[in-house]
Structure 1
């Protein structure tokens, strides 16, 4: 972006902001980092009206011109980000329905804010976590929710669909998310390249048979999250 200086939170080769959703007769959804608030030219250029800040590094209040909410969540794997899924969903959905442009940001636009956008995609379009990640990485390739957030999103998938079918390979996350050895995922569902997104189907009725098994599995995983040691996939 020309004319933008002092991008403190944007690494070389990255962008401070990316357009995620732009649907007819609705507002636009953007995902970005804290530079969007430090350099408000970014907000003006993208005609952003509403801001969801999920950030603890710097608290920047942009003023009465914008509708802004602040969620105080740290980017560590023990943070219970799922407790704000519903609040963030309502904020995003109400703004988009009112044809307002929305920015979701954290410090880097990689983990916390990406997790909230993933949860929004999963609930709005009946995506699995895998489908939501594939779509989001097309828009902002460097998104990388931490392992604790991924486990909470898998739990959310189970809550929304009654089972888990996602396969999180190294092309989607650098973390090896440990699973129950007896867990047998359903065949991979590829994200359709041609939108609209709302045509993506949910899980089949057969997949819902495993509800109890997956619920018990995620309960065990959630209980051990404090001692979970992520490891990178082997190249």
Structure 2
């Protein structure tokens, strides 16, 4: 079944097959597609902005390096009234990690809150252990940069 899962009013997650459905993109008013893969295609919708994060679903890949850029792109899109769709091949690991980074940075969630939100939106979500440890590092960085509360 093709579907885009809503994480928040401005953020959706899916697998590559669903992400390439013009009909779904229009239906959900998607304005930015973040493709977290090296080989999955982009939708051919011309009106949709596109951002590629070229990583494999491998615990050794450095997804951390892309967290800020992706989180900020999703936030900017939301401020403009747009909706972002983050996807990878299966919509389980890479795309989920990017969505969690956004929720942690711009929605002030903890890592466990972000993971819970993602699992509620899309049951199959399960970032690999490498990405989870990168998210833990990101959570510590965010806490440090925000200073004592």
SS of equivalent to 2:120:
helix
Q: Which residue of 2 aligns with 1:99?
A: 81
Shift of 1:59: 2.6
Is 1:112 paired with 2:94?
yes
Task: Give the superposition deviation at 1:54.
Answer: 1.0
| In 1, Cα distance between equivalents of 2:20 and 2:74 | 22
Per-residue CA deviations over 1:5-54 (Å, capped at 9, x if unaligned) read xx6xxxxxxx63201112xxxxx211111012332211111111111111
Q: TM-score, normalised by structure 2?
A: 0.90
1:52 pairs with 2:39:
no
Q: Kindly tell me: are residues 138 and 37 of structure 1, through their superposed partners in 2, closer, same or farther at Cα, counting changes over 3 Å? A: closer
- Moved runs in structure 1, 4+ residues, more than 3 A? 202-205
Q: Deviations over 1:100-156 (max 9, x none)?
A: 111111111110010000001111122221111112211112100000000000111
Cα deviation, residue 61, structure 1: 4.9
In structure 2, the partner of 1:142 is: 124
Segments of 5+ residues of structure 1 without an aligned counterpart are 1-6, 8-14, 23-27, 163-201, 206-235
Residue 46 of structure 2 aligns with which residue?
Answer: 64
Would you say the 8 A contact 1:37–1:62 is kept in 2?
no
**Aligned pairs, number:** 148
Q: Would you tell me which structure has more strand in proportion to its own residues?
A: 2
Residue 220 of structure 1: aligned partner: none
Task: State the partner residue of 1:121.
Answer: 103
| Structure-2 residue corresponding to 1:40 | 22
Question: Alpha carbon RMSD of aligned pairs, Å?
Answer: 2.0
Q: Which structure ranks higher in relative contact order (CA pairs < 8 Å, sequence separation ≥ 6)? A: 2
Q: Does 1:86 align with 2:73?
A: no
Greater Rg by CA: 1
In the alignment, the residues of structure 2 paired with residue 152 and residue 44 of structure 1 have an alpha-carbon distance, to the nearest angstrom, of 33
1:17 aligns with 2:43: no
Larger helix fraction of residues = 2
The equivalent residue for 1:195 is: none
